[in-house]
Amino acid sequence: MATARMRMIAAGSRGALMVCLGFLLSGCATHNLNSARSAFYAGQLEDAEETLVTSRIPKRDRVLFLMERGTVRQAMGDYEGSSRDFIKAYDLLVELETRSISRGAGTLVINDNIRAFVGAPFERTLLHALTAQNHLSQGHWDNAAVEARRIIQSLDEEHRRNFPDEPYSRYIAGLALELIDDPSNAALQYRRANELLSRVEIDSDTGRLAHAPPPKNDEDEESSNPWPEPPPEPERATPKDWTDELVVFLQLGRSPRGGSSIGSTAYRTSPYYAEIYADGKYLGRSYLLSDTAWLKAETERVRALRDAARVVGRVAIKEGIAIAVESKNNEFAGDLTRLILIGLLEQPDVRRWETLPRWLHVARVPAPPGLDSYTIKLKGAGGNTIRTYDVHQGVQRRRNVAVSFFRDTPGGR
């Protein structure tokens, strides 16, 4: 028994030293990652990419760096490079899943930060959604459908457990399946996305979006906020003989930082939306499907309940190690062990994919035949125009459906 206790003390001490050393060595990489994020949200996309290309990546953060760099490249329009990063991140996640058991013992004595970053469940789902988005932006319809099936698997209730479902990813899966002529499974994903939303309606047969009518009691039951009146829309001037559609995936704002405390978050509300125009004609508007701040808050709530017992048990083991050191008539060494293991190393893992957007919107609107460019007017919740963008690249067409992607980054909103 004494021998086993000494082995535990030795292991804990060695582990503490190794983690301290690891954190010192990874400090530069963390600084570079934060610099890249700041450049990205300042609109300096090339600088952000260069930082993420040239940085030395800690092994435990390889997935995170690939996620961040893939997002930057996607915003730059480098869909091929972005897909390579996202697919490599997914391959590493599969590899890490097979090796996770062997790394579990270290976290029992030290903390969760020594684990390789695997992201929250919703981040892993969005990894597939953004990869599918890249494929759609290149007209790689079959590849997008592969990612659609991975989205569906990641959101399966048995796989997802108590973590939140995610309608934006389900919509992307539905569109990808629709475009490879799998209408029944596409309709299922549109229907599942619609079931998750209270303020938006998605037609399961067509994928078209509209405002949901207010509840009978004029109250949003999920958020206890008054049901908002949508701002008035401009008059539509789209000819009735238009049979084409434009689907735009819009990513707006900045998701919460890893260490931020956001508490409760209103259920999928957004201060922004987009109006879509072509040749001066108003085509329609975007609708909010997912909010990464809400997903983060819900994920943290589930994790807090799940991880509480594990953290308490880990602190108890650390205290046991400190008491064992004190039992050797060395009170100072015991206090030092306690300081290192509990005071310094008992830190939560706050790493997260921070270049994700905050608000994930979809617009599906009538479009003129052969459309290859359009205009976005980014609006505030009251209908005031904030910014205007002309989109001339990245529009792909599958029969009568044009698909495009847009990311708004200026100012870190």
109, pLDDT greater than 50: no
What would the pLDDT profile of 296-313 be if each residue is shown by its tens digit? 999 988 877 665 555 555
58, pLDDT greater than 60: yes
pLDDT of residue 111: 43
What would the pLDDT profile of 258-289 be if each residue is shown by its tens digit? 666 555 555 567 888 999 999 999 999 999 99
pLDDT of residue 331: 61
pLDDT of residue 233: 82
Confidence of residue 319 (pLDDT cuts 50, 70, 90): low
**Residue of 142, 230, 137, 215 lying closest to 181 (CA atoms):** 142
71, pLDDT greater than 80: yes
pLDDT of residue 309: 53
What would the pLDDT profile of 128-162 be if each residue is shown by its tens digit? 999 999 999 999 999 999 999 999 999 998 888 88
- Decide if domain 2-299+349-412 falls under CATH 1.25.40.10: yes
pLDDT of residue 381: 82
- Region 92-97: mean pLDDT is 89
Q: How many angstroms separate the most distant Cα atoms in the chain?
A: 89
pTM: 0.81
pLDDT of residue 21: 46
* Distance, CA of 321 to CA of 337 (rounded, Å): 8
Pairing status of strand 385-391 against strand 396-398: unpaired
What would the pLDDT profile of 17-41 be if each residue is shown by its tens digit? 454 445 444 556 678 889 999 999 9
Complete edge-to-edge strand list for the sheet that includes strand 281-285: 281-285, 272-278, 374-380, 385-391
Task: Give the type of residue at 70.
Answer: G
Q: How does the average pLDDT of the chain come out, rounded?
A: 81
- Region 114-130: mean pLDDT is 91
Q: Exposed (0-12), middle (13-18) or buried (19+): which is 220, by Cβ within 10 Å?
A: buried
